[in-house]
Structure 1
């Protein structure tokens, strides 16, 4: 859906004009701090986590966990359907591949 929204060029009456879909720039993944990589690792390994479950996994309080997750949610790295934090599907494959290349996951 994100790709389609980004590709809308103009709308006239009942016609939607779509331009060529540009590739997203995923180079930012390589600049993420190690704390963010550990957060992403936990979310991949557990197929998403609620705030409380994430706190348990990370051995942190709910407040400390919220402080880790919220900036990533606000930047669009994460989504939160039904109170469960997950990696944004638009970047999931690139995150997974990067974590795998760095031996965070196998």
Structure 2
């Protein structure tokens, strides 16, 4: 038997958080990921862009959300979506620093 999900459970936006803020973070991560094109406009540049996008939009946010699962188990009102977006912001800051120091 499949679990029943409400519309709120399937929504990607956390409660009490502006949607424009989430959209801005996602767009900023996508644009910053394009910095991988400095490696060249060939396959190496494309792979660098895909690596940046995977790093900022998938790996680090998922790791932060997985580390926050005990908080969700302890407090049912905790939103893992917020932890995911926190991880996305942390990855964004990390990529900015990486671009600053690895020229």
What's the TM-score once normalised by structure 2's chain length? 0.27
- Is the strand fraction higher in 1 or 2? 1
**Structure with greater helix percent:** 2
| TM score, norm. by length of structure 1 | 0.26
